[in-house]
Amino acid sequence: MFSSSKDTVPCVWYADSGERIGTFKGHHGAVWSLDVTYDSSLVLTASADTTVKLWMVETGEELFSWGHRAPVRCVALAMGDRRFLTVTDPFSKLPPTILIYKLDPENPDKQNSAPLREIEGVTPNAKIMQAFWGPLNKSIYSASEDCCVYIHDSETGELLHRIAEHQGPVNSLAVSPDEVYFLSCSDDRTARLYDMRTYKHIKTYETSKPVNSGSISPIMDHVLLGGGQKAAGVTQSSTKSGHFQARFFHLIFEEELATVKGHFGPINTIAFSPDGMSYASGSEDGYIRIHHLGPEYSRSALEEPVHFDELDLDEL
């Protein structure tokens, strides 16, 4: 498992035990985002120090650095690991921008530092919180601070569609493993499920606090959400009232199935493991928690509905 944080040092961990394997040292600002190639040989990191860096996973060696004109909020690899996108924050008179670069995995230390194209954000002063590639790399989906989700053509930069159904900033997006649905998470205390091809709104999952991150299970009809009261107000409230729990919802019926306590700050990111039998959550409290869901969860995926009060839930 890979992690990034405000301490400037991305890390890689054993997901089974939580043991740290190594670190990637070289950034001089908060590392907001990272992405790993399909074979886990290379990792890209995006930082507030205005750089995106390419690292060798096995050795931790820095291979290349792309400079930007503003802090870099997000980085995401395209399918096939031949291109990647970066997202910069609005800075001075510069608008938020999505930049697309070519990646040469065979010659990792000899990259082209110039972007292939740039796509300016629709709203000049609103941060683009996250972006990812659509099916077959034909489009780019982005979540904006202006309460909208935008879909751009990745080749021309043309705006294909705008989703403006949230009532608050959209903090993150998550795509289903089969790339049929995507999830948008917002400060308006909801997460919404959409069809990736028609952009039709399908389901809504309501909570009592802002939703910062979500994940769609690869094996169950479950959605996992994380969030809570904003960090600025945490010292003025108790952990209970802050609602810092991870929340399981039924994908189809929209009902909340369970909550998992542990964090004492808002959850900034949450994700199922590829096999759907674990999940990790990273919080403003400075901790990453890995939960293994146990054998009852996998049996219920094949046999019967989950009874969360009977789950064997191990935490690292």
Transcribe the chain into DSSP letters: -EE--TTS--EEE-TTT--EEEE----SS-EEEEEE-TTSSEEEEEETTSEEEEEETTT--EEEEEE-SS-EEEEEEPTTSSEEEEEE--BTTBPPEEEEEE--TTSTTS---S-SEEEE-SSTTS-EEEEEE-GGGSEEEEEETTS-EEEEETTT--EEEEE---SS-EEEEEE-TTSSEEEEEETTSEEEEEETTT--EEEEEE-SS-EEEEEE-SSSSEEEEEE-S-GGGGGGS-HHHHT--EEEEETTT--EEEEE---SS-EEEEEE-TTSSEEEEEETTS-EEEEE--HHHHHHHHSS---GGG---EE-
Residues 3 and 147 in one domain: yes
pLDDT at 301 over 70: no
pTM to 2 decimal places: 0.91
Token digits of residue 83: 């291109």
- 307 vs 214, residue with greater confidence: 214
| Same domain assignment for residues 264 and 174 | yes
CATH of the domain at 158: 2.130.10.10
pLDDT in tens, 132-158: 999 999 999 999 999 999 999 999 999
- 238-280, pLDDT tens digit by residue? 555 568 999 999 999 999 999 999 999 999 999 999 999 999 9
Verify that 50 and 87 share a domain, yes or no.
yes
Residues 185 and 57 in one domain: no
Distance CA(52)–CA(148), nearest Å, equals: 26
Q: 148 and 49 in one domain?
A: yes
Percent of the chain residues past pLDDT 70, beyond the cut: 90
Number of domains composing the chain: 2
**Mean per-residue pLDDT for 32-57?**
97
The answer on 17 and 141 residing in a single domain is yes
Q: Which tops the pLDDT comparison, 233 or 201?
A: 201
Looking at the predicted structure, is the pLDDT value of residue 294 above 90? no
Average pLDDT score, the chain: 92
